[in-house]
Amino acid sequence: MKEQISIDEFDNKKFKKHIGDIDESNRKAVVTHFLHNYHNGVKKHYEKEANKYIKEIVEYKNEEEKLNILYDDAEQYLLFEVEKVPFPTPKDYSFKFIDLFAGIGGFRLALQNLGGKCVFTSEWDKFAQTTYKANFGETPFGDITKESTKKYIPEEFDVLCGGFPCQPFSHAGLKKGFEDTRGTLFFDVVDIINRRKEIGKPVKVVFLENVKGLKNHDKGNTLKTIIETLNELGYEVATEILNSKNFGIPQNRERIFIVGWLKEKNKTFRFPFGIDSEDAVIYEKESLVNIKSTAVGDILIKRPDVKYTISDKLFAGHIRRRKEHKEKGNGFGFSSVNEKTQYTSTISARYYKDGSEILIEQTDANPRKLTPREAGNLQGYPENYVIPVSDNQAYKQFGNSVSVPVIQAVFNEIKKQLL
């Protein structure tokens, strides 16, 4: 095909103006979800609208550039574009899931590794969408609080997963359950679950992740409201704080995990605690057989670019601030590690600013920041994971992400006992 069409052409400003479609924000998501499900039944859910958009871009290209592109040729080329990605859908999948607040796909990587098929994903950040598409072939849908996004969620799927942001609940602790969650992003999770319940196609498993502080937020009322709300919707719920350092990741990263399963199924669930954990029990040995103890050196690359070495001025500032904090008795300051260190502190979305939470010691030089690839390694992303964005955006994305091996270890137990 001489005249090729790219998914990115749906962002063409002239094309958007030519079409005049009021709701254009999810066009790329519709087309990529359609193409990515081309060989299974989920395709039908997106087919009518996707065909409309593809025909519109073909007509536009032919008219604007005096070409003679055929619809079938365009469809096949676009299909090739979304399928030639590092992490395609498993051919023989055993369950379907939706990926909310998807970020850059940490949940998706883990669940695909265990035989899952993602049928819908949403993420509002445009830079995260770019990274997601480069690795999975799909552009996520946008703002999940809008009906124009929710309407695209297929009726049938087994698992709802996501690391939802935690805003304060306006009336948390008043035991209003579902009503207490209004105005928060958790409400939209609940709304999606409730809609499936009402049409007789309940979600089998709810799998959520959040910061450790959720446990004690508003004196525990926020988590209490979340659990009570899921109970109202018919789910048994288990929660646990797990640490990435116990799952083959050299990072001290504690996060709370929430798992809900239908009461009517009369099944049980138990969290894995990981290796080297005081809470680990005998049954975990089999499920964690592929997880090994690690040190910081295991995630470092050889010969990193000198640009990651921090300047004398920045290093002096780090030292001064650490001294000031120490004198105040609060213990804060930059954290430096070497390849033999067992684990780093928690990487966060602000890492791009100065790298102070994790600096790598160097011989005869100032310490350095992690490279974006090392930041990905520190969260358990594989070496072939594509990083198509700037360093600053990459640091934000990996800092906001889940640790993939932790998600996979937990879901391995979910799949084994619940699905």
Is residue 142 within 8 A of residue 24, CB to CB? The reply is no
- Domains 95-292+401-417 and 296-386 fall in the same CATH topology: no
The pLDDT, as a whole number, for residue 342 is 94
pLDDT digits (tens, 9 = 90+) for 85-128: 999 888 889 999 999 999 999 999 999 999 999 999 999 999 99
Using only the alpha carbons of the chain, give its radius of gyration. 23
Of 59-73, 157-171, 200-214, highest mean pLDDT? 200-214
Tokens for 164, please give them: 């939802």
CA 143 to CA 97: how far, in whole Å? Answer: 18
- How much is the pLDDT for 133? 95
- Report residue 173's pLDDT band, with 50, 70 and 90 as the boundaries: very low
**What is the β-pairing status of strands 336-337 and 359-362?**
parallel
Q: Which CATH code is given to the segment(s) 296-386?
A: 3.90.120.10
Residue 22: its pLDDT value, please? Answer: 52
b/e burial code for range 270-309 (CB count within 10 A of at least 16 → b): ebbbbbebeeeeeebeeebeebeebebeebbeeebeeebb
In the three-class reduction of DSSP (H, G, I as helix; E, B as strand; rest coil), residue 95 is classed as strand
Give 205-219 as a DSSP string: EEEEEEEGGGGGGGG
Q: What is the pLDDT of residue 369?
A: 96
Query: What CATH superfamily classification does 95-292+401-417 receive?
Result: Vaccinia Virus protein VP39 (3.40.50.150)
Between residues 392 and 292, the one the model is more confident about = 392
- What's the pTM? 0.91
Going by C-alpha positions, the residue among 190, 118, 90, 96 that lies closest to residue 419 is 96
Which of helix, strand or coil describes residue 393?
helix
Give residue 364's pLDDT.
92
H or E stretch covering 374: helix 372-378
Q: Is the pLDDT of residue 283 over 50?
A: no
More confident residue, 120 or 83: 120
Cα 346–chain centre separation: 17
**Is 166 a known active-site residue?**
yes
Q: Estimate the crossing angle of helix 71-83 against helix 27-36, to 10 degrees.
A: 80
pLDDT band of residue 333 (cuts 50, 70, 90) is low
Which entry of 31, 159, 166, 299 is annotated as an active-site residue?
A: 166
3-state secondary structure of 87: coil
CA triple 355-122-17, angle to 5 deg: 105
What is the 8-class DSSP label of residue 276? T
Cβ–Cβ under 8 Å, residues 410 and 400:
no
b/e map 241-263, b = 16+ CB within 10 Å: ebbbbbbbbbbebebbbbbbbbe
Higher per-residue pLDDT: 134 or 291: 134
Nearest-angstrom CA–CA distance, 107 and 328: 40
| Domain limits, the chain | 7-83, 95-292+401-417, 296-386
Model pLDDT, residue 64: 87
Average of per-residue pLDDT across 44-56: 93
d(CA 78, CA 4): 9
The pLDDT-based confidence of 286 (bands split at 50, 70, 90) is low
Distance from C-alpha of 14 to C-alpha of 16, rounded to nearest angstrom: 5
The single-letter DSSP state of residue 146 is S
Place of tokens 């950040």: 125
Tokens of 396: 């934000």
pLDDT at res. 398: 98
Q: From the centroid of its chain, how far is CA 210?
A: 12
Q: What is the pLDDT at residue 1?
A: 46
Predicted local distance difference test score (pLDDT) of residue 166: 64
Look up residue 405 and give its two tokens: 């091996």
Mean per-residue pLDDT for 151-176?
74
- Alpha carbons 37 and 46: distance in angstroms, whole number: 9
CB of 209 within 8 A of CB of 256?
A: yes
| Pairing of the two strands 254-262 and 205-211 | antiparallel
Q: 257: part of which helix (H) or strand (E)?
A: strand 254-262
Q: How far apart are CA 160 and CA 157, in angstroms?
A: 8
